[in-house]
Homo-oligomer: A and B are copies of this chain.
Amino acid sequence: MSGLEILGFVAAILTTVCWLPQAFRTLRTKDTKSLSLLTQSAFTLGVGLWLIYGILAGNAPIIFANSVTFVLVAAILAMKLRYG
């Protein structure tokens, strides 16, 4: 694995697992007041489109990163819709 590949790998891991603390915080506090519904909706839709793109392009890293991210950000969106 080249240095560039490792950098991309670390970047992908960070922008994927970073949604875990937000999901757990929201689950625990049920507080979604500061979250923008428009941002959360558009981001979830965008990540979903990246996932479809990865599937159609047969790109395993894009599929993996975006499926994990999609589950987390869709859960945050669902809590925003529920708690307002």
List the interface of chain A (C-beta within 8 A of B). Answer: 4, 7-8, 10-15, 17-22, 25-26, 29, 31-36, 38-39, 42-43, 45-47, 49-50, 52-53, 56-57
Contacts and interface: CB of A to CB of B under 8 A. Distances in A.
Contact of A49 (B7, B25, B45, B52): B7
A28 to B, nearest CB: 10
Chain A binding surface SS class = helix
A24 B36 CA distance: 9
Contact of A46 (B18, B34, B47, B49): B18
A22 B35 contact: yes
Contact of A42 (B12, B18, B45): B18
